[in-house]
Amino acid sequence: MFVVLQRVQQASVSVERQTIGEINLGLLILLCAERGDTDALAEKMLAKILKLRIFSDEAGKMNRSVQDVGGGLLIVSQFTLAADVSGGNRPSFTQAAPPDEGRRLYELFVEKARAVHPIVQTGQFAADMKVSLINDGPVTIPIRITA
């Protein structure tokens, strides 16, 4: 499972010019389920994200988690994170989970997040989405968890 986290002051996602998810302070999570990913990996990824200390404390050091600061999560599926460009100029996405499995893992991740975190917004799986954000820092962190 691969994610790109962006610490944001604000983020939103829209489909067909309608905002379907938005947060203020928090994390934009671009999530890619890859072939072979499991429910356990999704849960491990969520636990890592929720505890990751990337928000500033009163001394300006990255010492607080999204839970510590009461921030939101905006979770957006993004299979293009699995892109392989080593074979030419057109990306291959063969490492991405098949669509049905990708959807299942994305929905599981969202369900688990909603069970433990008070502010969770989402994009729409397999939709043409427009994502807007104000990256805070900027802080952008890629995380890959494998079996």
Residue-wise pLDDT for 106-144, tens only, equals 999 999 999 999 999 999 999 999 999 999 999 999 999
State the average pLDDT over residues 82-105: 96
Please give the share of the chain, as a percent, with pLDDT higher than 70.
Answer: 100
pTM over 0.85: yes
Angle at 147 between CA 116 and CA 4, to 5 degrees: 55
Backbone angles phi, psi at 53, to 5 degrees: -90, 90
Sign of the alpha-carbon torsion through 60, 61, 62, 67:
negative
The pLDDT-based confidence of 146 (bands split at 50, 70, 90) is confident
Backbone angles phi, psi at 39, to 5 degrees: -60, -40
Domain 2-141 sits in CATH 3.30.300.130:
no
Domain ranges, ordered by start, for the chain: 2-141
Element (H, E) at 31: strand 26-32
- The model's pLDDT over 21-30, given as tens digits with 9 standing for 90+, comes to 999 999 999 9
Q: How many helices (H) and strands (E) does the chain have?
A: 2, 8
Residues labelled as active-site residues: 78-80
